[in-house]
Structure 1
Amino acid sequence: MTQERRDRPERSVAAAVCLVLYAACLIYWMFFGFGRSVHLAMDEPLSYNLVPFNTIRLYLRAAAWLPPQIVAVNLLGNVAVFVPLGMLLPPSCRMRSLLELLLWFIPGIFLVEILQMLLRAGSFDVDDIILNGLGVWIGYGLLRLCSRFFRKSG
């Protein structure tokens, strides 16, 4: 058995621990961070966007007059915050392909977006799902790139 084969279980356990900690942070950010709070009042309207690229287009158009930090947090932040998930899920859950990763991620993020809307801690926005999915895809790509690099150098 090669050293690489023996290290895999330890790497997947370490990735799983990091995944649990990171998922806890994500849940906090998505429901309580950035001044959010859960509102169970039924008289408040539900907030949602079902039109792909509508919110993204809105932020890109508003970039001329909105502070750059707001645009960056809403567009780049929604991508960047999910990059670690794309790197941690595959080794933790023994996923072998991007398709398998996305088959788990997409229903999960849909559920979180629906909960944000129902709990009035945010909105259901299909653009968030697109941007978050892009972050997961980038993270998976970085994971694959790093695996190849360390396989060649090891």
Structure 2
Amino acid sequence: MIEMNAALTLKKWRARLLFHFVSIGYLAFLFDLLFVRNRGFLDGYNYNVIPFRTIGMYISQAHHFNFWIWSTNLFGNIVLFIPLGFLIPAYVRFARRPMLALVLLLLVNTSIEVAQIVWHVGSFDVDDIILNFFGGMLGIVLFVRLKRAVKRQNV
């Protein structure tokens, strides 16, 4: 019985270590993508403070954009932030309550957009906040469901 518990503990330790490495890798990738990569396609500094303006443009004028640009701007912003929504409650203890996780997610997403325009590495777009928040919200839902499943399995 002791050997089985030791093996289980080692397995948990390895899983946690892998989770931390994957988390660090994701955060490094996110930082690189949002702040470091060549973002010289912008002329000046653009911003959009009208909700759903950019989203509506990509939907109503999809035929003016190639599929890669259209899908990346809409779905990429959602998919990219699903892991962040999972990581917030995983690492921030008080954010394990879904409403607090959502508030923290909104603060993080807004801070990213503000930092991009302050550091001149992107543009402020409230639609990015909306899409990123939606993706993060999916990550929070995933975290809550996984936590419940693990809790039921351990009972």
User: How does the TM-score come out when normalised to structure 2?
Assistant: 0.78
Residues paired across the two proteins, number:
143
Counterpart contact for 1:31–1:116, Cα < 8 Å: yes
Equivalent-residue separation in structure 1 for 2:117 and 2:101 (angstroms): 24
2:35 equivalent to 1:36 = no
Once the two structures are aligned, what percentage of the paired residues are identical? 31
Which blocks of at least 5 consecutive residues in structure 1 are unaligned? none
User: How does the TM-score come out when normalised to structure 1?
Assistant: 0.78
Q: CA deviation at 1:126?
A: 0.3
Question: Greater Rg, structure 1 or structure 2?
Answer: 2
Tell which has more relative contact order, 1 or 2 (C-alpha 8 A, sep 6+): 1
Which blocks of at least 5 consecutive residues in structure 2 are unaligned? none
Counterpart contact for 1:19–1:89, Cα < 8 Å: no
Equivalent-residue separation in structure 2 for 1:103 and 1:13 (angstroms): 28
Quote the RMSD (CA, aligned, Å). 2.6
2:26 equivalent to 1:22 = yes
After superposing the two structures, state which structure 1 stretch, 140-149 or 55-64, moved more.
140-149
Secondary structure class of the residue paired with 1:64: helix
- Number of the residue aligned with 2:110: 110
CA deviation profile, 1:91-143 (whole Å, cap 9, x unmatched): 21112222211222222222221121122211000000000000110011111
Please identify which structure carries the higher helix content.
2
